[in-house]
Amino acid sequence: MKITQAMVLAAGLGTRLRPITDTIPKPLVRVAGKPMIDYALDALADAGVRRAVVNVHHFAEQMEAHLDRYARLHVVISDERERLMNSGGGLAKGLKLLDPGLLFVMNADLFWVGEPPHQPTNLQRLAAFFDPAGMDMALLCVPLERTTGHNGKKDFQLDAEGRLSRYTDGSLPLVYAGAIVMHSALFDDAPDDDAFNLNIYFDRAIARGRLFGLVMDGHWLTVGTPDALVEAEEVLSRLHAEA
């Protein structure tokens, strides 16, 4: 199925990336010459998205100026200057600026490279995988060994039918790759103007047997610290040389 709208979570403070984020919001930190958020926005545009809500807080004016120049999507700002809403609250607030229906949810500071050419992208695969009759959410996931910059935490494991549960002892530990497909109606019961973590909805879906995962193609990167930024630059340089 084709999904044409998205929410991009971009309002965090990026405290672990200081001192870089003392003067610039984390989503605008450049990795291989490209602002981190543009990796997410480009992936959405490549998947057929036309309209994206992006929440802003830290150095919001810089974010707004950059997003105003981004040409591939119509970007709408969800303003969290006065109060950070956390991942779940930020999504609930942003959904009010989108049409009811299916959407992608993306993190602005997690991205991937190395998708096979001339094949459906990871987001297109995730959209095709999602079945609203049996799923609350479909999460893009990545094996731990195909990550750079991650802290080693094992988030989930898959069963034979593609259902996700919190990792305990599975043979294939998975990391949440920062992309979701869901229907906006899932958040109809969300607290109004309240800060809460998106993990609440992950755990509810797990309890109902309705959280599913798809393993992504390519290599996944997160840039949470200055050291991780150096690692990401090295990986991208190596992958570019191998291409």
pLDDT score of 17: 80
**What is the pTM (predicted TM-score) of this model?**
0.93
pLDDT score of 63: 94
Domain count, the chain: 1
pLDDT score of 243: 57
pLDDT score of 156: 93
What distances in angstroms separate CA 53 from CA 57, 88, 96, 222, one per listed residue? 14, 14, 10, 21
Q: Give the closest residue to 238 by CA, choosing from 125, 113, 81.
A: 113
pLDDT score of 242: 64
CA 90 to CA 123: how far, in whole Å?
21
- What's the CATH number where 43 sits? 3.90.550.10
pLDDT score of 241: 65
Give the range of the structural domain holding residue 79, as residue numbers without chain letter: 5-242
Q: What is the mean pLDDT of each run of 10 residues along the chain (243 residues)?
A: 94 84 91 92 97 93 95 95 89 95 95 92 97 97 88 85 89 90 95 88 96 96 85 79 62
Q: What is the CA radius of gyration of the chain?
A: 17
